[in-house]
Amino acid sequence: MKTTDRAALDEWYAVATAAELGQAPVVTRLLGQDIELCRDEAGAPVVREILDDGGRSRALPAQERYGCVWTTLGRPNKDIFDIAESHEADRRFVPCGWVRMRASGLRVVENFLDMAHFPFVHTDILGSEPHTEVPRYLSEIRRDVDEVWATNCTFFQPRIAATESSGDFVHLTYRVPSPFVVMLYRVCPSAPDRLDAIALFIQPIEEDLCRAQPVMYLVDATSTDTALLNFEQVIFLQDRIIVENQRPLLLPLEPRLEIPTRADGSSVAYRRWLKEKGLRFGTTGAH
């Protein structure tokens, strides 16, 4: 059933990989609502909300951005967020494909923000024992842009990226530009004056079901597409196991239900921001 959650409805969502969409219609689901996607004869994406079994439907806004087709079931008060790195001509653009997960999309965002799990979940890739401590970092709700950011993050990583085979402390910045999108900026190992940008687009299907696609804008002239994809997919499949085993599947926003530690600063800011927005879809709050 389509949600009545205004805060969730009034956002943009990536709902298809642009390169995979042709003129043949495909049906998918967003926020509990069936939608149909295709391209018109000029190649422009078309998205429709299916209103009933009789085939009545309503046209929805459709935009192509960052290798995906985006739509909304509501009336967003701003355009799709900008990824500055997407405009740089020498970037490698790597869409990594959709992964379906039995969990709230909000849980997926929160897991992406969490550095403390690196040594235990991504052992010998993004973290390793005994380097388990998350050094102090800053997290904030940026009121001017209405986004959550975590800055000055550092963590010891044994591999860092597909190009690297030795470990070092990496510098990371996290950004949450909308409730179901999360980004990571990482100092690029092969060009230390630039940042690799990795975004995770989440399509909330039901409250406790979503699919997510990582897309990367990298400065990396050497790795093959396959190596880049494999690196990301190994990490993401490790995350899926963790996210699907969290209970409850929905994200609690009540501050006392899960006791935060210092490492959870970004999660605390994220939950507070969701609560301020009045977002309910995918949370344990009253519906």
Q: 3-state DSSP: the chain helix, strand, coil percent, rounded to 5?
A: 20, 35, 40
Nearer to Fe ion, 37 or 182 (CB): 182
Cis peptide before 189 (omega within 30 of 0): no
Q: Residue 159 Cβ, how far from Fe ion at the closest point, in Å? A: 13
Which of 80-88, 89-97, 194-202, 235-243 is the region at the interface with Fe ion (rule: CB under 5 A)?
A: 235-243
Nearer to Fe ion, 70 or 112 (CB): 112
Q: Are 73 and 49 in contact (CB under 8 A)?
A: yes
Q: Residue 13 Cβ, how far from Fe ion at the closest point, in Å? A: 22
What is the secondary structure of 242-271 as a DSSP string?
HHHT-SSSSBP-STTSS---GGGHHHHHHH
Return the residue of 239, 264, 273, 274 that touches Fe ion, per CB under 5 A. 239
Q: Residue 106 Cβ, how far from Fe ion at the closest point, in Å? A: 15
Q: Are 110 and 202 in contact (CB under 8 A)?
A: no
Nearer to Fe ion, 2 or 117 (CB): 117
> Which residues fall within 8 angstroms of residue 173, CB to CB, at 6 or more apart?
149, 150, 151, 153, 184, 185, 186, 195
Q: Residue 123 Cβ, how far from Fe ion at the closest point, in Å? A: 11
Nearer to Fe ion, 15 or 184 (CB): 184
Which of 183-191, 198-206, 225-233, 234-242 is the region at the interface with Fe ion (rule: CB under 5 A)?
A: 234-242
How far is Cα 268 from Cα 172, in angstroms, rounded to an integer?
A: 18
Instruction: Find the residue with minimal CB distance to Fe ion.
Output: 239
Which of 19-27, 141-149, 231-239, 258-266 is the region at the interface with Fe ion (rule: CB under 5 A)?
A: 231-239
Binding footprint of Fe ion on the chain (CB under 5 A)? 239
